[in-house]
């Protein structure tokens, strides 16, 4: 049976989807964009600042569901431009310093709200 996960410590969904869905021992975290949940606005700065906010949003959702970054098995990183790959990696690596999850990273034509990055995550206990 699926369980909907929601926390006010991450941005509210900007469409007809849930922040995350738990099914069995697996947690599916919807793509997170760099919105500060306290202000409802996209964080200022470049790819590093935006990646940091995305990771904080993911962390809040993981915590709400009883998971941590060590439970993450797969991430998909969507970038507005592959020129941002190195900057994204610098921040991303700080959250997965040991045993990082499987990952795909690629550029897309556009991201919601004109952001530079979106990351979706799957975690398993």
Q: How many domains does the chain have?
A: 1
Name the nearest CA neighbour of 21 among 13, 30, 12. Answer: 30
Spatial contact of 122 and 74, defined as CB atoms under 8 Å apart: yes
Rounded distance, CA 113 to CA 50, Å? 13
Q: What is the CATH number of the domain that holds 85?
A: 3.30.1330.40
Q: What is the pLDDT of residue 124?
A: 98
Q: What is the pLDDT of residue 37?
A: 97
Q: What is the CA radius of gyration of the chain?
A: 13
In this prediction, residue 14 has a pLDDT band, given cuts at 50, 70 and 90, of confident
DSSP 59: H
Q: What is the mean pLDDT of residues 94-109?
A: 96
Structure tokens belonging to residue 27? 């947690």
Structure tokens belonging to residue 58? 């993911």
Q: What is the pLDDT of residue 106?
A: 96
What confidence tens digit (pLDDT) does each residue in 19-60 have?
Answer: 999 999 999 999 999 999 999 999 999 999 999 999 999 999
What confidence tens digit (pLDDT) does each residue in 62-84 have?
Answer: 999 999 999 999 999 999 999 99
Domain hosting residue 50, numbered range? 2-124
Residue 115 has pLDDT above 90, yes or no: yes
Structure tokens belonging to residue 112? 């919601």
Q: What is the pLDDT of residue 119?
A: 98
């Amino acid at each position: 049976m699926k369980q909907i996960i929601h926390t006010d410590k991450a941005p509210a969904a900007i469409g007809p989807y849930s922040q995350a869905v738990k099914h069995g021992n697996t947690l599916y975290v919807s793509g997170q964009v760099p919105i500060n949940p306290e202000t409802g606005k996209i964080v200022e700065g470049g790819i590093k600042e935006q990646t940091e906010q995305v990771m904080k949003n993911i962390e809040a959702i993981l915590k709400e569901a009883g998971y941590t970054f060590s439970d993450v098995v797969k991430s998909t990183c969507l970038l507005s431009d592959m020129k941002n790959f190195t900057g994204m990696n610098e921040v991303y690596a700080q959250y997965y310093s040991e045993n990082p999850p499987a990952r795909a990273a690629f550029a897309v034509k556009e991201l919601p709200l004109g952001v530079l990055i979106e990351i979706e995550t799957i975690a398993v206990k």
